[in-house]
Chain A
Amino acid sequence: MKALARLYVALIIFFLYAPVLVMIFFSFNESSSVWVFTGFSFDWYTGLATDVTMLNALKHTLIVAVLSAVISTVLGTAAAVGITALRNKFSKKIIMSVTQIPMMNADIVTGISLMLLFIFIGKLLGLRESLGFLTVLTAHITFNLPYVILSVLPKLRQTDASLREAALDLGCTPLQAFFKVIMPAISTGIITGFIMAFTLSLDDFVISYFTCGHYQTLPIIIYNMTKKSVTPDTYALSTIIFACVFALLIMYNMLQTKSESKKAAKAQP
């Protein structure tokens, strides 16, 4: 029975990670064959580094990821503070549901509806090209926001309400009280929210596809590459993205366990 359970787990892990491992493996293949490993090489990686389209797309991706993560973290934290301060339980519930809908919504619906909206506004303003950097950034901020809010909210809920009053009592203005007392107390929530937002933005394809116009990001370039023929430089690129996301996820988990063990330590008498 136990052996069976182990086998089951092993199979799950195999099916989850085998494709990625195969891809990583072939990204180091000397030839472009996808079934024969002819020799080890970094050629596909060095090839990437000289590919201008690719580097441009990488630049776009990073700019959008960093900016959308920063902006959605600021907006999301402010929103979470506002939601926590709401006294009316009914409006609190409504705002929470409205916040969560974009998370549940299918990416393709979000992407198409955002595209329609952007084109509509573009036409209103008489722009020749409505889609571009600003629209893809706005779209990313939109789908990042709920994740930031949801990672900051529980931290705020755990924070003793009298901490803020204590800060005001000692002479802080409400703004000072936030930066000097509340923010340190919810910092892990803010950081995890930021990492979540950054990761989501980094590997988003569907919504970017509809909203980016000529400002193409990496996932879209990869998609376009595979339309012609699948070459190992795609594997190399995907491997890099996988490594980045993997590293971010590990960071995210470490932060979470850290704040949890801190809580556990506090619970001990």
Chain B
Amino acid sequence: MKNENIVELKGISVAFGGEKVLDDFNLEIKDKEFVTLLGPSGCGKTTTLRLIAGFLEPDGGDVIFEGRRINDLPGYKRHVNTIFQRYALFPHLNVYENVAFGLRIKKLPEKEIKAKVTEMLALVNLSGLEKRNIDTLSGGQQQRVAIARAIANHPRVLLLDEPLAALDLKLRKDMQKELKKMQEQLGITFIFVTHDQEEALTMSDRVVVMNNGKIQQVGTPQDIYNEPLNAFVADFIGESNIVDGKMLRDFYVEFSGQRFDCLDKGFEPDEPVDVVVRPEDVDIVAPDKGMLTGVVTSVAFLGVHYEIIVDIGGFKWMIQTTDEHFEGDRVGLYIEPDAIHIMKKSEYSGLYGDYSSYSEEIDHLSDADYGEEDGGE
């Protein structure tokens, strides 16, 4: 009798000023699950969150909460709480009153409120700061107040809109772990929005990769990373070399002018495909021992490893290696069958996975773009 999906989005479409932000969007989220909506800015992930929070009504389709259609239910009547990107703490109230806000609206007795606020502040390690003004807190502390304020209301679902985007790297890593722990401890469903693929992979039970208002792939972090469905996902999650190939028969593929054993099957004979090889899965060997050979065109030292670009017949491959190589070196590439992942051709074929225009500067620029706010309205 019980449906274990706590939130369902069915055939949702949303448009702002004639521009489609979500198009026939379907997603089911299970109770107590940690789901991450991952995608570049403007992909519709924040819009999805706002639909569930009740700040936005879909133009078409249904939002279902615990089996009940809640399209018209205003946000303040939903058992859902949100952690906002810039925290949205109330500046005229102190830490205690911020956390107590939702409880006071519910008109709980003062004693109960006090116990609850104390418990919540202990949970987020802010005990003793009750009387502090919001302005006097650091970004990390404000973040914790926002979390305490949201979960004090015992939401069934907690929505997190890029909550860690404003924190520095070290703090962000700590908060990732803490949030994950909190989610397991409290048994609340978390729906987390981010453009940071690493964050998505570390924290989630399931990742929903989105682009242009459509779901590209849904799966566990391992699925998403190891078995990307198309070139967009392969490129967005981690680094990928994506080359054109031809599936000669099951477990046998041709690309870059060579033939390789692989672990994929189920394609038509001679079907054109996209072939993904992760930079860390390629071994560099002597030119005469390589399956492919090429010339090193650039080398960057990243601490853990070197990132080198190798030109193979005009296509630039990115390879991560712990050995030092130099520009102009002729090297061989050795690729194990399990390092090769075959994808069906898609609208994204040919758009990603070539590092010919690659430079670190450009990469950072595009990262900064993702940091922009999602196209909410």
Contacts and interface: CB of A to CB of B under 8 A. Distances in A.
Interface of A: 160, 162-163, 165-174, 176, 180-181, 184-185, 265-266
A153 B263 CA distance: 64
8 contacts: A162-B86, A165-B53, A167-B90, A168-B74, A169-B81, A170-B76, A173-B76, A185-B92
Contacts of B80: 169
B172 to A, nearest CB: 18
A159 to B, nearest CB: 9
Contacts of A169: 53, 75-76, 80-82, 150
Given A165-B82, A176-B105, A181 B90 contact: yes
When A and B form their complex, which 8 residue pairs have the shortest distance between CB atoms, in order from nearest?
Answer: A170-B102, A166-B88, A184-B92, A162-B88, A171-B105, A162-B84, A169-B82, A168-B75
Contacts of A173: 76
Interface of B: 53-55, 74-76, 80-82, 84-86, 88-92, 101-102, 105-106, 135, 149-150, 153
A51 B41 CA distance: 73
Contact of A168 (B76, B89, B92): B76
Contacts of A185: 91-92
B153 A170 contact: yes
Contacts of B55: 165, 168
A168 B55 CA distance: 9
Nearest to B90: A181
A170 B105 contact: yes
A166 B76 CA distance: 10
A216 to B, nearest CB: 43
Contacts, number: 59
A165 B92 contact: no
A171 B155 CA distance: 11
A269 to B, nearest CB: 10
Contacts of B86: 160, 162
Contacts of B82: 165-166, 169
A202 B367 CA distance: 58
B217 to A, nearest CB: 30
Given A163-B90, A165-B55, A169-B76, 20 more contacts: A160-B88, A162-B84, A162-B86, A165-B88, A167-B90, A167-B101, A168-B76, A169-B150, A170-B76, A170-B81, A170-B101, A170-B105, A170-B150, A171-B102, A171-B153, A174-B76, A176-B105, A181-B90, A184-B90, A185-B91
B76 A172 contact: yes
A174 B84 CA distance: 18
A169 B153 CA distance: 10
Contacts of A170: 76, 81, 101-102, 105, 149-150, 153
A184 B101 CA distance: 14
A184 B98 CA distance: 14
A168 B74 CA distance: 9
Nearest to B139: A269
A187 to B, nearest CB: 8
Nearest to A187: B92
A220 to B, nearest CB: 42
B106 to A, nearest CB: 6
Nearest to A262: B135
A73 to B, nearest CB: 19
Given A166-B82, A265-B135, A266-B135, A171 B88 contact: no
A165 B149 contact: no
Contact of B76 (A162, A163, A171, A184): A171
